[in-house]
Chain A
Amino acid sequence: MKKRKEIIMKYISIASEFVMKYVFMVAAAASILAVFLICVFLFANGIPAMKEVGVFQFLFGTKWAPGNIPASYSIFPMILGSIYITGGAILFGVPIGLLTAIFMARFCPKKLYKVLKPAVELLAGIPSIIYGFFGLVVLVPLIRTVFERFDTNGKSILTASILLGIMILPTIINVSESSIRAVPNSYYEGALALGATHERAVFFTVVPAAKSGILAALVLGIGRAIGETMAVIMVAGNQPRMPDGIFKGIRTMTANIVLEMGYATDLHREVLIATGVVLFVFILLINLSFSALKKKLN
């Protein structure tokens, strides 16, 4: 009797080992399912609208006027808006981020590092809505007064670029720092042995050796900047027009979705989803080049 019970227990444990393996496997399949569903639902809802407007007209027309009769749905101004603001963010964020990363990896005294590292992590943890609010109450008035003679109301490409430049700092810093740290110390020592100063050794041997990692940081930063929504909405002005100088407002693809989805119906709504599809494709391309870079790194 006792023996029988033991055998049953043994079978139960073997069975549960077997079942649980597949339970874990199903859990792992969840992320595949999620990506699949996201693709299917976005494309199925967005592509028909693109066709109805005409793909070329949709992507490269210059007029966004959903209220007009007949309405005009062209997102080229928004695509340019996203690219301009992302470019601006890179211009501000990358030099400062990269230099900070170099500092943290090779110049920073240990005591200071213990303060600076958590600071960078906190910078990454602050919600975008708070960045947006900060931009609204600090940067917008600042830009308005400093560049008064350019006839700007403060909400502009420049403001959004500065704010996004700050927001991508932690991404740039963390990825570049770890790639700089990964460079073998022999590079640095070799440069010193040849008579280079500490600074020269770091900048002209260590940093170039880390360049694919730094490039990866750049790509990741672009991805963050182009997908940012709430902060941009609050400082970019959101006028759906072709770019008109860096002191004028502009609308990004992300802003377009959030601003108009609330009241959009029928084709207008579908066109907004199609805007999301375009954004999604941008992100996929960026991710693809990021993983290609990472592969090269390994």
Chain B
Amino acid sequence: MAELTADMKNEPVSATKRGRGKKKIRPLSLLLRILVWGAAAITFFVLIFLVSYILIKGVPHLKLSLFEWKYTSENVSMLPSMINTLLITILALAVAIPFGVGTAIYLVEYAKKGNKFVGIVRITAETLSGIPSIVYGLFGMLFFVTYLKWDYSLLSGAATLSIMVLPLIMRTTEEALLAVPDSFREASYGLGAGKLRTVFKIVLPSAIPGILSGVILAVGRIVGETAALIYTAGTVAKIPKNIFSSTRTLSVHMYVLSGEGLNINESYATAVVLLIVVLVINWLSGLAAKKLTSSGLREE
């Protein structure tokens, strides 16, 4: 193992070191090497174990009755929750994307350096990204549910989540916009286009893959969210009549199931569906990010 790593190290300097000839075995160095390899192995093993455990235990319990149109306490169908998750994701993104992208455009394209307003926006965005989901849940309950009287509803849940994912979309969009080379903008101005046209026709289209990867990450957070939704969207396992009906998303559904302790097999099955959704989302986001690098914008 030891020779293997020495050969595969990618630092250019190590090549000269290797050329030094026979090496003494140094106990401390060996120990350190074992430590880092061990730690990486543990990290990797934990992930593999977790994913395969859930899949192996859960896949056999994926029955057709779990995907029936109506939820009853007998079939504990997760289909309504899946539809709710989709609806709440669309609603939350419909609010968060315009605000997030708009903020990023303002920060990158319009704001002047050293602007006080920009500083405050950045600080608040950073604060937002650090707030735990349960605090969002509390706020959503106090503001949307109680103060605005939206009750436990799809709308309250989506509104709460849109604030939660706002900093994520903002940051990724900002990075994507910054990655667009200035020469693009200069060329557009040079052809006589105004600022607005430059932003919408030149800068935004070239930043789309980066923005998309951020949006997909946001979808991942929304799908996996539980604590912020229990007291905003509620836990009714039905397909909503309108945006003021209480709903439960897939994650909340899973929490309720595993909390009851009666439907452990169905919990496994729900976990499988959730996990697969997350795997797909991660894969898509990586794909979008890769597209950004391959389009050559990052290299400039």
Contact = CB atoms under 8 A, between A and B. Distances in A.
B196 to A, nearest CB: 5
B9 A107 contact: yes
A228 B227 CA distance: 9
Interface string B212-237: 00000100100111110011000000
A185 to B, nearest CB: 8
A42 B103 contact: no
Contacts of A137: 57, 264
Contact of B134 (A96, A262, A276): A276
B33 A199 contact: yes
Given A35-B127, A116-B40, A273-B142, A123 B47 contact: yes
Interface string A98-140: 1110111011111000011011111101111111111011100
A200 B282 contact: no
A297 interface: no
B53 A138 contact: yes
A128 B130 contact: no
B50 interface: yes
B255 A230 contact: yes
Nearest to B32: A199
A16 B166 CA distance: 26
Contact of A129 (B43, B136, B163, B254): B254
A73 to B, nearest CB: 17
Contacts of A20: 196
Contacts, number: 265
B107 A28 contact: yes
Contact of A96 (B39, B124, B125, B254): B39
Contacts of A27: 98-99, 101-103, 105-106
A50 B205 CA distance: 51
Contact of B255 (A45, A129, A228, A276): A129
Contacts of A96: 39, 42-43
A127 B251 contact: yes
Given A16-B196, A108-B40, A257 B103 contact: no
Contacts of B258: 132-133, 136, 234
B14 interface: yes
Given A35-B128, A229-B132, A257-B134, 14 more contacts: A35-B127, A100-B40, A107-B40, A125-B220, A125-B281, A127-B223, A127-B226, A128-B224, A130-B54, A133-B54, A197-B29, A258-B134, A280-B131, A280-B135
Interface of A: 13, 16-17, 20-21, 23-32, 34-35, 37-38, 41-42, 45, 95-100, 102-104, 106-110, 115-116, 118-123, 125-134, 136-138, 166, 169, 173, 188-189, 192, 197-200, 202-203, 223, 226-230, 234, 254, 257-258, 261-262, 273, 276, 279-280, 283-284, 286-287, 290-291
Interface of B: 5-6, 8-11, 13-14, 17, 26, 28-30, 32-33, 35-40, 42-44, 46-47, 50-51, 53-54, 57, 98-99, 101-103, 105-107, 109-111, 117-118, 120-121, 123-128, 130-139, 141-143, 147, 163, 166-167, 170, 194-196, 217, 220, 223-227, 230-231, 251, 254-255, 258-259, 264, 267, 271, 274-275, 278-279, 281-282, 286
